[in-house]
Amino acid sequence: MRDGLLLAVDVGTLSARAGLFDAAGALIATASAGFDLLRPAPGHAAYRMDALWAAVAAAVRGALARQEGAAARVSAMAFDATSSLALSHTGAPPLEGGVDVLCWADHRGEAEAEMITATGDRLLHSMGGTLSPEMHLPKLLWLKRHDPAAWARVTGARDLCDALAWRATGEDRHSLCGLACKWAFLPAEGEQAWRRDLLDRLGIADLLDRGALARPPLPVGALHGRLAPEAAAAFGLPPGVPVAVGLIDAEAGTLGALDGGFEPAMNNTAVLIGGTSTCIMAFAPEERRIPGVWGPFRDAVFPGLWLHEAGQSLTGAALDAVLASHPAGPRRAGAAEHAAAVAEIARRLEEEGPAFAAGRHVVPDWLGNRSPLGEGRARALLTGLGEERGERDFLEAYYATARGIALQARQILDHLDAHGYAIRRVALSGGHARNPLLVALYRDALGRELVLPRSAEPVLLGTAMTAAVAAGWHPDLLSAVSAMAPGAVAQPAHPAWARAHDLAHGIYLGLFEARNAAMRASAALAASARE
């Protein structure tokens, strides 16, 4: 029934959000609930699945409570989530501290990622040439190598959106989106999609004997199952609600930011989803192998189209860190603190123009470089630091970090253009769209037209689109996008800033190459110490 509602659930890095949408894609109600990201050791980042599920249930109940009679009107629901790795198990949870979900940002598998890259397996052709420690395979290999007893207790491994749908329905199935983008799985190879030779070479061939990984995956928007009684009671919904095959949060944000007729302009369009990290998404009708860019992933979102996913590992989180750690900052990173810093920076930019923070520059790779380098061990480079610790130093640090994020996004877009794209339009989705400083920097520094989707929650909207397909309201995702796309508002660039950002980008590129040279020399230094 088209007068029903669609329930979308997004599980991000630090919170779960739920949104109710009507058939036209209008947001009716939303609510959120937080959970803890656990960091038991350097490079480790993990969750407890029960805590994630409790937050999901609280968010869903909160959204339903905001619209009288909503529970009875929900026609279908869907989950999106960060591409975190959920492990089912017997006995105690397999990871330290009682955790059973490895966050996407967990980098414990850096050495394992390098080991897999060294195999030269053809999987790497769909990973930009190197395997990131953010992928699932290095994390699983780390567990097998470091704690075989814990590995033996693992009964299944799932992308988080699939684990949530499994818990909601009792049906153990996998989304083609997750398998294509994060696993040793190549959809274009049909029945030989799993890289079984690679799994065998790494000593984890038994992975496919656990859970439902060996079963054929389902496309985004297909029916995963129906809401089971226990989950229905936790959510405050009637049992039997259709649950769609879900997707990764960046892919959901891409759906929610696209125009209804994006296909003719596909080669000229990218979506930038900025939150804790940043993903830059683009589609092509044919296979293009681009170094330092994840993909191309065929059928990961739209059947027959190839998805490229470039990105930056820490962006919003880097700005959070400036607020929380600088001696002159507020020492916490809430929305009010960001707003206050941005307002004061805007005032100073109005007074000083490009002279503000002109000597401070950042190569923003605090947790590796996803694109265009594809190097998980890369780290940030900051210049212009002194002994100052006052308010101006804090504001310059925040601004230089934000500018570095925007300039690296420009570098990534240029890299995509050098390998077959001709991107002229960037749709901004996610939390960065709520930060006026980042919006201004993307508008003026990317060298492309910036547009803001009219939806306040494009990630949730994209997930609602997948629910609409499972509800039978649309025959496929492209039809759902066409019917529910929110439209967008163009952000004209400020011409006075063009030269300043061109100069800053040149400085950034020089520092990027200098950092890379220093990284190579440092690796040689470390190797000499082992000789």
Domains of the chain by range and CATH?
Answer: 5-245 (3.30.420.40), 260-531 (3.30.420.40)
Q: Rounded to whole angstroms, how far apart are CA atoms 351 and 257?
A: 34
Report pLDDT for 189: 93
Q: Can you tell me the mean pLDDT for 440-456?
A: 96
* Closest by Cα among 80, 127, 83, 81 to 104: 83
Residue 1 above 80 pLDDT?
A: no
pLDDT > 90 in the chain, percent: 95
Tell me the mean pLDDT in the region 307-332.
96
The radius of gyration of the chain's CA atoms, rounded to the nearest angstrom, is 22
Band of residue 260 on the pLDDT scale cut at 50, 70, 90:
confident
- pLDDT at site 261: 80
Mean pLDDT, the chain, rounded, equals: 96
DSSP 9-47: EEE-SSEEEEEEE-TT--EEEEEEEE-PPB--STT--EE
Cis-peptide, bond into residue 436, ω within 30° of zero? no
Interval 394-407: pLDDT, tens: 999 999 999 999 99
Could you read off the pLDDT of 464-487 as tens digits, one per residue? Answer: 999 999 999 999 999 999 999 999
Q: DSSP states of 429-460 as a string? A: ESGGGG-HHHHHHHHHHSSSEEEEES-S-HHH
Alpha carbon separation from 410 to 251, 316, 383, 404, 509 (Å, rounded): 20, 17, 20, 10, 11
Instruction: Please give the pLDDT value at position 162.
Output: 98
pLDDT digits (tens, 9 = 90+) for 218-227: 999 999 999 9
pTM: 0.93
CB distance 271 to 255 below 8 Å? no
Q: What is the pLDDT of residue 303?
A: 94
Q: Which residues of 203-220 are buried (b: 16+ CB within 10 A; e: fewer)?
A: ebeebbebbbbeeebbbb
Whether residue 297 is predicted with pLDDT greater than 90 in this model: the reply is yes
CA distances to 128, 156, 264, 266, 297 from 285, rounded to whole Å, are 18, 34, 11, 9, 11
- Three-state DSSP class for 95? strand
pLDDT at 263 (0 to 100): 87
**Residue owning tokens 């979900």:** 101
- pLDDT tens, position by position, 24-33: 999 999 999 9
Percent of the chain topping pLDDT 70: 100
pLDDT over threshold 90, residue 230: yes
Residue 221: count other Cβ atoms within 10 Å of its Cβ: 29
Q: Which residue has the tokens 């594809």?
A: 374
Alpha helical stretches, state H, 238-382: 249-257, 316-325, 335-352
φ, ψ for residue 34, nearest 5 deg:
-90, 170
Helix, coil or strand: residue 295: strand
What are the residues whose beta carbons fall under 8 Å from the beta carbon of 522, sequence distance 6 or more? none
Confidence of residue 2 (pLDDT cuts 50, 70, 90): confident
**Mean pLDDT, to the nearest integer, of 192-201?**
96
Half-sphere exposure of 189 (CA within 13 A, CB side): 14
Show the tokens assigned to 323.
């607020």
Lowest mean pLDDT among 81-85, 199-203, 281-285, 524-528: 524-528
* CA–CA gap between residue 40 and residue 300 (Å, rounded): 33
* SS3 track for 182-245: HCCECHHHHHHCECHHHHHHHCCHHHHHCCCCCCCCECCCCEEEECCHHHHHHHCCCCCCEEEC
Of 301, 284, 285, 302, which Cα lies nearest the Cα of 293? 284
pLDDT at 456 > cutoff 80: yes
pLDDT at 31: 98
Contact 272, 427 (CB under 8 A): yes
| Residues 78-97, mean pLDDT to the nearest whole number | 94
The stretches of 66-213 forming alpha helices (DSSP H) are 70-73, 110-118, 136-146, 148-153, 160-169, 176-182, 196-202
pLDDT at 154: 96
Q: What is the pLDDT of residue 262?
A: 86
* Over residues 348-360, mean pLDDT: 97
